[in-house]
Amino acid sequence: MTDRTLLVRGGTVCDVEGGESRPADVLVVGDQIAEVGSGLRAPGSATEIDASGLHVVPGLIDAHVHVTAGTADLGGQAEDSPYYVAAQTGAILRGMLHRGFTTVRDVGGADYGVEAAVAEGLWAGPKVHFGGKALSPTGGHADLRARGRQVLDNHTCCPNIGTVCDGVDELRRAARHQLRTGAHHIKLMLSGGVASPTDRVDSLQFSAEEVRAAVEEASNANRYVTGHAYTARAVNRGLELGVRCIEHGNLIDESSVRLFVEHDAFLVPTLVTYEYLHREGAEAGLPPASQAKVSDVLEAGLHALEIAWRGGVKIALGTDLLGAMHRHQSGEFSIRAKVQPAADILRSATLVGAELLGAEGKLGVIAEGATADLLLVDGDPLEDIAVLAEPDRRLRMVLQDGNVVVDRL
């Protein structure tokens, strides 16, 4: 069977690594980019796409999503029908793809079934790198019981974003279970958070021995641990114990920046979620106790991003949106533009995200041998990142694995 061939001609290709754009054609054979250059020719059977006047951009990577989070009331969702949650998930994934995100990393909720549903074409959506259920201690960020509720249903089939485990043995068993299902990473709750009802944002979670056990299990499986953490104390402790990536990090300081660089670790800020939890959280189902915690981290996020960027930390792009707020996913670009130049923001959503996922040279680039995930955009995001913040108006086409999956030309 002959691979399908497609020629994107007449566009301006964004060289994200070099930080510049140049006129070039892109030849796609099957699901890979076969050639990038000027005046390319393709067989007569090839499909041609006229990209004149448009910029060709690598497919975007969102490194912090919860694709099963159809509501901001995560405790309530834990008791929903898994079929209903699955229906919500399909719609959430489709929306992400229509915003130009061709790959996402789910850090709590998605499992191998979600990954397979997209890979097999049952759902239209970004490719999903999943971690399964996030691991939390009793009373931690993924223990979503209300304060007075005693019973916890920890069954693997319940649509919780996490699972509760206490002690080294339970932690090892839970980590091994997620890895058994094919998880790409293990997620630990290293501090309190906003969406959970009973923990303080500034709390520490898990003992040092438990964190080390998770790091060892992930390392044994050639995977890594990512950690939810806000304060410098929680972030620094996680990095010193071998955690490879930190989610959020709104309250880090210069000591944290030094540890990120020393350990070659990644930071995934998620600024847009606090903006809209503040504006729309109540309407989206965020419980009152969680609404009260949003202000603790909202104002500090931009400062944390700036010191991390200036300090040379590897920063990926994440959003962490819940429920109806998923529609604001592209707003992360505009928020980061208050601190970072456009080229660095685009690198976060492409090159850095690909490195975090272990997909350097395959994702986040337009180069020979890379996966053919491409966007046709009205405007140059290397000069003005805001063009990616308006996908309904500026995103004209999305190619995923060499297939046209969104066409607004």
Domains and CATH numbers, the chain: 5-59+362-407 (2.30.40.10), 60-329 (3.20.20.140)
**What is the average per-residue pLDDT within 109-122?**
96
pTM exceeding the 0.75 threshold for the entire prediction: yes
Position 215 scores a pLDDT of 98
pLDDT digits (tens, 9 = 90+) for 34-87: 999 999 988 888 899 999 999 999 999 999 999 999 988 888 888 889 899 999
**What is the average per-residue pLDDT within 292-319?**
88
Position 10 scores a pLDDT of 95
First-to-last C-alpha distance (Å) of the chain: 29
Position 296 scores a pLDDT of 64
Q: Scan for tokens 């405790």, then name that residue.
A: 75
Check pLDDT > 80 for residue 18. Answer: yes
Do residues 372 and 47 touch, judged by C-beta distance below 8 A? no
Check pLDDT > 50 for residue 151. Answer: no
Q: How far apart are CA 384 and CA 15, in angstroms?
A: 14
- Spatial neighbors of 65 by CB under 8 A, at least 6 apart, are 96, 104, 105, 106, 107, 318, 319, 320, 321
Q: How far apart are CA 156 and CA 254, in angstroms?
A: 39
- If you write DSSP's letter for every residue of 10-55 in order, what string do you get? EEEEEETTTTEEEEEEEEEETTEEEEEETT----TTSEEEE-TT-E
**Other CB atoms within 10 A of residue 3 CB:** 12
Q: How confident is the model at residue 180 (pLDDT cuts 50, 70, 90)?
A: very high
Position 276 scores a pLDDT of 86
Among residues 245, 171, 186, 180, the alpha carbon closest in space to that of 219 is found at: 186
Position 150 scores a pLDDT of 45
Amino acid at 1: M
| 127-130: strand order across its sheet | 60-65, 101-106, 127-130
- Spatial neighbors of 15 by CB under 8 A, at least 6 apart, are 21, 22, 366
